């Protein structure tokens, strides 16, 4: 089972970063690859089980389900339900940890999934750089303002 792991340090308090990413429907507000997003059936964006339906800037559609959310531990876990990527059983967690030295944030984004063996390396690299690291880079820019 391929695993993606990306970590970064964001020069802002974890509570401030969490305030930006906590809303499961807020991807277009902080991630540059996301064009639009909506929560299906009008459910609250912080209700475990809710489904977000969003489009990437290139028009691809992805549906994801919120599996876990903790305001105490600053994490959210979600699964991909539909995606153009050739993978299945995708589960990811985005977690923030306060760094008390300098009031910064240690951010980690992990994912595991199943796919054909010949697709694994490309998917791990693409998700790691184009999704996870791109998201962290955007957050760093936004938190600097």
Q: How far apart are CA 105 and CA 96, in angstroms?
A: 6
Pick the CATH number of 3-144 from 3.30.530.20, 3.30.420.40, 3.10.580.10, 3.40.50.2300: 3.30.530.20
Dihedral class, residue 102 (left if φ above 0, else alpha if ψ from -120 to 50, else beta): left
pLDDT of residue 24: 96
Note if the pTM is more than 0.85: yes
pLDDT of residue 30: 96
pLDDT of residue 144: 85
Domain boundaries, the chain: 3-144
pLDDT of residue 91: 98
Q: How far apart are CA 64 and CA 56, in angstroms?
A: 13
Residuewise pLDDT in 10s, the chain (145 residues): 999 999 999 999 999 999 999 999 999 999 999 999 999 999 999 999 999 999 999 999 999 999 999 999 999 999 999 999 999 999 999 999 999 999 999 999 999 999 999 999 999 999 999 999 999 999 999 998 7
């Amino acid at each position: 089972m391929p695993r993606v792991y990306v970590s970064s340090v964001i020069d802002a308090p974890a509570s401030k970063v969490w305030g930006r990413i906590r809303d499961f429907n807020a991807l277009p507000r902080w991630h540059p690859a996301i064009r639009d997003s909506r929560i299906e059936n009008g459910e609250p964006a912080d209700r475990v089980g809710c489904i977000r339906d969003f489009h990437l800037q290139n028009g691809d559609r992805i549906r994801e389900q919120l599996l876990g959310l903790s305001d105490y531990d600053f994490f959210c876990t979600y699964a991909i339900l539909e995606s153009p990527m050739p993978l299945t059983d995708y589960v990811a967690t985005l977690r923030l940890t306060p760094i008390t030295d300098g009031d910064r944030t240690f951010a980690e984004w992990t994912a595991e999934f199943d796919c054909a063996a010949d697709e694994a390396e490309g998917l791990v690299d693409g998700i790691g750089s184009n999704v996870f690291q791109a998201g962290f880079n955007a957050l760093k820019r936004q938190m600097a303002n």
